[in-house]
Chain A
């Protein structure tokens, strides 16, 4: 079974952590991810940027683009994509294709994306871990 672990917290509090605290938290994540990677148990690990960077696409007659996060608590998170785009415009285009009523897609840039503790792109990820990636695809 594949599981996703969705990390929740109050970003206002996280933003007020000292840099040392933030580094300590991230270091802990990295150490856990390394153990999991050793047994090939972990897929992409993502740190999302603050919700202030978010753009939300809703389904109206046409897709409606709204600044800010999708914050309504009535809806539940049902899934997510990771896409690599040349621009926000591109990401909005893709989200507009995927969004359906009722619901919305929040586009949030990713700050941190790796199972090895360093920022990467999808292309790099594929190029550098060809063998592991193939193995995971089969699962």
Chain B
């Protein structure tokens, strides 16, 4: 008797490798998906009675491939069949499946599958939706719910995205070193976006979408298993783990945002933190810093501080400085300003962000952060104007409510208590 929860988890775990292998055989996402679906159904029938196979992925690839070949045979009876058609019986051939299947390329297979989902012509949300559907195996209704759109709209979006990537014809040859690195970077960026979409939703009533964050972590871990020696992938995985560790503390019972300084640190998930810190340490040994590693190192500093007062803001300031050098961005500067305000005071922080004001003219967090600096300096009217602007730019109800709370405090208190946002 095999536990259904186990089978479910095994199917989810095997999915990327199986779909990726099927895509290599059949060169069609639809065929690969359909065949995987069929093999999963057979697994649900067979595994509970017979127990799980030694290598679930190999079993699924074998069964799915035969199914797809049968289907192809039915639809094109007169065409000559590929060699694989010789393999027909699933029962007696299971013994040495692992040896028969070409496992050597599965790393590039999975990377290709992920990479296909991140086609540059696709807008970021479509890349993410496609990856969630194809790689993670989330259902269309699940993805639609995560993106707060109707099922039919999401169905359409995914169908369109699939057509687009099919037309793009990503090559199936084993990629060279440089190309592999490029694919890896693109895929890492998609996973990062997916996490951010969950971490701080870009719209709707729900500010944090845990399932998207968890899915991103799953994909990051998958990528890290494939490329265990890549410090940036260690950094990315660590970053997501360390950020997600704070999930339970980031919103209060009413769904309102709780800033880092005000979070109940006992709610932080210490298991995720421990894993994240281990990965940061491993990555740093390589002495090949990159944006994900630096962001992870910053998250690590927050994770290590038992109280907000113990936070090493000077170190955070330096790390943001390093991040600015390798990946200059006004958003990075804005984040660094929060650290600067802790180390050198709000005046210095304000000075730092003045030059980037035009670039961030439509950025919600800019006005929240600058408003908080202005409050600390007692410049209430200017602060109020910034907070008003922030509300008009808020993307979720929680963001707007949070700024409204700042305004209420501003109106009520003569003593400034508002802190810059760094949740």
Contacts and interface: CB of A to CB of B under 8 A. Distances in A.
Given A109-B274, A119-B270, A52 B13 contact: no
B10 A89 contact: no
Interface string A26-67: 000000000000000000000001111101000000000111
Interface residues of B, number: 27
Contacts of B306: none
A89 B278 CA distance: 12
Nearest to B277: A109
A87 interface: yes
B13 A10 contact: yes
Given A21-B5, A67-B228, A109-B274, A52 B285 contact: no
Given A12-B225, A49-B275, A52-B237, A88 B5 contact: no
B281 interface: yes
Contact of B278 (A10, A53, A69): A53
A13 interface: yes
B319 interface: no
B224 interface: yes
A91 B248 CA distance: 32
B133 to A, nearest CB: 17
A66 B229 CA distance: 8
Interface string B63-86: 000000000000000000000000
B13 A13 contact: yes
A52 B224 contact: yes
Given A21-B9, A51-B225, A89-B285, A16 B278 contact: no
Interface in B362-382: none
A55 B6 CA distance: 28
Interface residues of A, number: 27
Nearest to B9: A16
Contacts of A10: 10, 13, 56
A50 B130 CA distance: 27
B12 interface: yes
A83 interface: no
A51 to B, nearest CB: 7
Contacts of A52: 221, 224-225, 228, 234, 237, 279
A68 interface: yes
A18 B4 CA distance: 12
Counting chain A CB atoms within 10 Å of each CB, the highest count among B10, B270, B281 belongs to: B281
Contacts of A15: 13, 218, 221
Nearest to B6: A13
B293 to A, nearest CB: 14
Contacts of A16: 8-10, 12-13, 218
A111 B10 contact: no
A13 B278 CA distance: 21
B97 to A, nearest CB: 16
Nearest to A66: B229
B282 interface: yes
B315 interface: no
A119 to B, nearest CB: 6
A55 B282 contact: yes
A98 interface: no
Contacts of B270: 119
Between A13, A87, A109, the greatest number of chain B beta carbons within 10 A of the residue's beta carbon is seen for: A13
A16 B8 CA distance: 9
The 10 closest A-B pairs by CB, nearest first: A68-B228, A12-B13, A16-B9, A67-B229, A109-B278, A53-B278, A16-B12, A52-B224, A16-B13, A88-B281
9 contacts: A10-B10, A50-B221, A52-B279, A55-B282, A65-B285, A87-B281, A88-B282, A89-B285, A111-B274
Given A16-B12, A21-B5, A52-B224, 14 more contacts: A10-B10, A10-B13, A12-B222, A15-B13, A52-B228, A52-B234, A52-B279, A53-B278, A67-B228, A68-B228, A69-B228, A88-B278, A109-B275, A119-B271
Interface of B: 5-6, 8-10, 12-14, 56, 218, 221-222, 224-225, 228-229, 234, 237, 270-271, 274-275, 278-279, 281-282, 285
